[in-house]
């Protein structure tokens, strides 16, 4: 990322602040949910009883720092074995797409997510943390699914 992109990113945080939101449930659960950019869906999960049966529900907007955070979290909370990725992907950033490409292909020598079509899919987490994520976490692809009941039915499958 160049200096101009970093400045624009900082201006966006001031002009259009997006809260850093995630909600914690049962720390013994092996299931986590990522609602991508669907904040209303995130709120539905956060305010429902399902939160008692999942470890965490959060959102993902960026193909770099956001994915770094997910990788760090699952490495620190190794009970998580399933990550359900649902909701609308961020137009342009395609963070959900990049998360699946990372899981499938990893990163290259420049720490770029292989086959990602996102603008800045560069990670800072270690290769060993990425490998743990690839080998120990199953991703469930419900990208673009915003129907709460449909997602719940998929969760009840596990």
* pLDDT value of position 156: 73
CA 153, 68, 71, 108 torsion: positive or negative? positive
Percent of the chain scoring above 90 in pLDDT: 78
Inter-CA distances, 68 with 17, 44, 48, 154, 158, Å: 20, 25, 27, 26, 26
Within 8 A by CB and 6+ apart from 13, the residues are none
The token pair that represents 31 in the structure block: 């299931």
Percent of the chain scoring above 70 in pLDDT: 86
* pLDDT value of position 93: 86
Q: Is the pTM of this model over 0.75?
A: yes
**For residues 25-29, average pLDDT:** 92
Residue among 33, 37, 122 at smallest CA distance from 82:
33
* pLDDT value of position 16: 41
* pLDDT value of position 22: 84
Phi, psi of 142 (to 5 degrees): -120, 30
Per-residue pLDDT reduced to its tens digit, 134-151: 999 999 999 999 999 999
Q: How confident is the model at residue 157 (pLDDT cuts 50, 70, 90)?
A: low
Per-residue pLDDT reduced to its tens digit, 66-90: 999 999 999 999 999 999 999 999 8
Token pair 């999942």 in the structure block, residue: 54
Q: Tell me the C-alpha distance between 17 and 10, whole Å.
A: 10
* pLDDT value of position 154: 83
């Amino acid at each position: 990322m160049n200096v101009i992109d970093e400045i624009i990113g900082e201006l966006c945080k001031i002009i259009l602040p997006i809260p850093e939101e995630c909600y914690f449930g049962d720390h013994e659960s092996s299931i986590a949910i990522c609602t991508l950019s669907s904040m209303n869906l995130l709120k539905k999960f956060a305010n429902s009883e399902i939160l008692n049966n999942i470890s965490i529900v959060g959102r993902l907007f960026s193909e770099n720092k956001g994915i770094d955070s997910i990788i760090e979290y699952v490495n620190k909370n190794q009970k998580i074995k399933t990550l359900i990725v649902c909701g609308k992907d961020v137009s342009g950033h395609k963070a959900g797409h990049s998360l699946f490409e990372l899981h499938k292909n990893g990163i290259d020598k420049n720490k770029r997510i292989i086959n990602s079509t996102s603008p800045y899919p560069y990670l800072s987490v270690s290769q060993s943390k990425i490998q743990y994520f690839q080998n120990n976490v199953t991703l469930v692809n419900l990208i673009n699914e915003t129907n709460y009941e449909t997602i719940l039915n998929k969760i009840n499958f596990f």
